[in-house]
Structure 1
Amino acid sequence: MEQHQDIMVRVCARDALADGIVGLTLAPINGGQLPEWTPGAHLDLKLPLKADDGEEMIRQYSLCGDPADRSCYRIGILRESAGRGGSAYVHDRLTCGDIVRINPPRNHFPFEPTARTLFIAGGIGITPILPMVRQAAAEGRDWQLVVAMRDRSRLAFDEDFAGLDPARVALHFDAEKGLLDLDTLLKPLGAETTVYSCGPTGLLDALTERSADALWQLRIERFAVSEPVDTAGKGFDVICASSGERLHVGEGQTILEVVRAAGYKIESSCKDGICGTCETRVLRGLPDHRDSVLTDEERAENDYMMICVSRAQDSEIELDI
């Protein structure tokens, strides 16, 4: 598995963006430039806490700044009251001057412009969408942005919206207008339109359901799964390429659990196949993909798999571990 070298960054700015949302600006501790990224990318923020499995707590946050400015990264973080402690730590304890570790950005939600783009952001889901919108605007493309949130107190990045064409931006507040009327919004769309969306599970599930028989295309990024992923299945062997060791994954086990128990250090976070942290290169064999990260094209290529949820189709699979 490809292991990225940690990047040490300093919190050089911290801003209250909205009710329950804090913005962080991260800069390399020794100056210089950070790795390149493209709209839709996120980074792994490594926190000095232990996750439920006793491993280091790693959380993913979408980059919402300017990809051309590699002197810093900008992220926005919602305090999750039902979360596992990561966002609470950031909100309560992470301050300007603190040094944290990150992994280089990864992008499983790339912006690939088509003739027309409709962006639908739900709450903090605006973070990966903003850089896409800026790119579409800079390239003179046909785009519309709809941002839906509970109420005006949750409106973050208002300065960024002010710099966009107001005729192309619609802000929707549930407290004032009720839930966003997706049917009316989507009805006029044709095959020339791609919908990009990030936000709460209910929004993404509703869009996925409506896209099944639609002419328009849908690209989404999830923060959470709509229901637990079934990781069970027939047993198989994993061959670890670095050592040649053969490990057996039982019917009720995951690859991640087995290789970690064998002493291999594999970073992971969500355990639900949505973050991409445990992405592992497949050297031989066919994966049984059960993640929500890879596109249909990437699944067909079978070059990578998310070992926290996915399994092998056959009796063995060789991985870059």
Structure 2
Amino acid sequence: MAVSAEPSAQVELDVLLERKEVVADGVVRLTLRHPHGEPLPAWEPGAHVDLVLGPDLVRQYSLCGDPADRSVLQVAVLHEPAGRGGSQHVHSTFTEGCTVRIRGPRNQFPLVPAERYLFIAGGIGITPILPMIRAVAARGASWQLLYGGRTRSSMAFAGELHDRYGDRVVVRPQDETGLLDLDSFLVADAEIYCCGPEPLIAAVEQRSPARLHVERFTAKAVDGERTSFEVELAQSGRTLVVPEDKSILHTVEEAGITVMSSCQEGVCGTCETGVLEGVPDHRDFVLGDEEQAACDVMMICVSRSRGPRLVLDL
């Protein structure tokens, strides 16, 4: 995973919802444009933006349009009635012409240079894969997509992908073909990109491909002892005690210090904070192994401390 942009570098602005269109059962694509026609922030395949839906309702959605087109940003949102309220808000209250506040883009799922790629998508996990396929196809790299979903009608963009790229796209609706046949698809000499529900990601991870890149939309359970510890905030000179039952983020916010955050599950990278002293107990799904070992940044919404004290760049 890539290091996310520094919080201070984040762009936050209001854009217009130019178009809201149904692209599959329960999935709408939003096309967002600057209200004054100015270019929107640059981004690369794998990036996402936050939709700021309310004071305590911020959700992340992968950009699925064309990075070369700075006039619009596009995301696709799956309606999840049993979710945490974000998709319900988008589907029920967003109308064409309304104002939408966005934050980002950020990229924890970057496309690395390679000669061969395998893409594995489950359901709405196709969204970050779309611009990746466009990029690798444009430069003539070898690639293939394995795309699964509940039903064919629920799989956004499946038809247009197959029409455009033919046999490179393998569409496998579960009600027609069962679970994805990962064993026959995975090969050792490719960069593998996987996005989708947790059972799919876990199944791919269990097969331990060497060059695997994943993006989670929700956090998986993480075991680990929760003890209290101190955090010194270098910029303010304050020292706070983080109790067993609270995160660093909540402790800092309760002390009146504003920190940009979003998912609060360790999957989006918004709350990335510099570590000046101490060893973090990383519990996020953003930083890779080398980045976690460097101990110079942490996601304070979920990660804790391995020792009695941390000094943070806050």
Q: Give the TM-score, by structure 2 length.
A: 0.93
State how far apart, in whole Å, the 1-side matches of 2:66 and 2:104 are: 16
Alignment of 1:194 onto 2:191: yes
State how far apart, in whole Å, the 2-side matches of 1:298 and 1:23 are: 33
Residue 238 of structure 2 is aligned with which of 224, 237, 245? 245
Whichever residue aligns with residue 115 of structure 1, its letter is E
Q: Counterpart of 1:124 in 2: which secondary structure?
A: helix
Q: Which runs of structure 1 show a deviation greater than 6 angstroms over 4 or more consecutive aligned residues?
A: none
Q: Which residue of 1 aligns with 2:247?
A: 254
Q: Does the aligned pair in 2 maintain the 1:41–1:107 contact within 8 Å?
A: yes
CA deviation profile, 1:266-312 (whole Å, cap 9, x unmatched): 23333221122222222333211111111112212223211111012
Q: Counterpart of 1:147 in 2: which secondary structure?
A: strand
CA deviation profile, 1:239-265 (whole Å, cap 9, x unmatched): 223311111112332101110110112
State how far apart, in whole Å, the 1-side matches of 2:148 and 2:166 are: 15
Q: Which residue of 2 aligns with 1:319?
A: 312
Q: Which residue of 1 aligns with 2:3?
A: none
Q: Which residue of 1 aligns with 2:29?
A: 23
State how far apart, in whole Å, the 1-side matches of 2:161 and 2:297 are: 37
Kindly tell me: are residues 242 and 163 of structure 1, through their superposed partners in 2, closer, same or farther at Cα, counting changes over 3 Å? farther
Residue 226 of structure 1 is aligned with which of 220, 226, 241? 220
Whichever residue aligns with residue 218 of structure 1, its letter is L
Q: Counterpart of 1:233 in 2: which secondary structure?
A: coil
Q: Counterpart of 2:253 in 1: which secondary structure?
A: helix
Q: Which residue of 2 aligns with 1:56?
A: 56
Q: Counterpart of 2:106 in 1: which secondary structure?
A: coil
State how far apart, in whole Å, the 2-side matches of 1:230 and 1:28 are: 43
State how far apart, in whole Å, the 1-side matches of 2:176 and 2:297 are: 44
Q: Which residue of 1 aligns with 2:180?
A: 180
Residue 265 of structure 1 is aligned with which of 245, 250, 258? 258
State how far apart, in whole Å, the 2-side matches of 1:160 and 1:10 are: 26
State how far apart, in whole Å, the 1-side matches of 2:246 and 2:162 are: 50
Which structure 1 segments of 5+ residues have no match?
A: 49-54
CA deviation profile, 1:121-169 (whole Å, cap 9, x unmatched): 0010000011111111001001001111111111212464156321211
Alignment of 1:307 onto 2:304: no
CA RMSD in angstroms comes to: 1.7
Residue 207 of structure 2 is aligned with which of 206, 210, 215? 210
Whichever residue aligns with residue 263 of structure 1, its letter is G
State how far apart, in whole Å, the 1-side matches of 2:237 and 2:7 are: 16
Q: Counterpart of 2:199 in 1: which secondary structure?
A: helix
Whichever residue aligns with residue 16 of structure 2, its letter is R
Q: CA deviation at 1:29?
A: 1.5
CA deviation profile, 1:163-206 (whole Å, cap 9, x unmatched): 632121111111111111222222xx12x212100001110011
State how far apart, in whole Å, the 1-side matches of 2:164 and 2:278 are: 48
Whichever residue aligns with residue 40 of structure 1, its letter is G
Q: CA deviation at 1:60?
A: 0.1
Q: CA deviation at 1:234?
A: 2.9
Which structure 2 segments of 5+ residues have no match?
A: 1-5
Residue 2 of structure 1 is aligned with which of 7, 17, 20? 7
Q: Counterpart of 1:164 in 2: which secondary structure?
A: helix
Whichever residue aligns with residue 43 of structure 2, its letter is W
Q: Which residue of 2 aligns with 1:105?
A: 105
Q: Counterpart of 1:6 in 2: which secondary structure?
A: strand
Q: Which residue of 2 aligns with 1:44?
A: 50
Whichever residue aligns with residue 7 of structure 2, its letter is E
Greater mean deviation of Cα atoms: 20-29 or 177-186: 177-186
Whichever residue aligns with residue 17 of structure 1, its letter is V
State how far apart, in whole Å, the 2-side matches of 1:102 and 1:85 are: 17
State how far apart, in whole Å, the 2-side matches of 1:301 and 1:19 are: 43
Q: Does the aligned pair in 1 maintain the 2:282–2:292 contact within 8 Å?
A: yes
Q: Counterpart of 2:46 in 1: which secondary structure?
A: coil
Q: CA deviation at 1:232?
A: 4.5
Kindly tell me: are residues 234 and 27 of structure 1, through their superposed partners in 2, closer, same or farther at Cα, counting changes over 3 Å? same
Greater mean deviation of Cα atoms: 10-19 or 258-267: 258-267
Q: Does the aligned pair in 1 maintain the 2:50–2:262 contact within 8 Å?
A: no
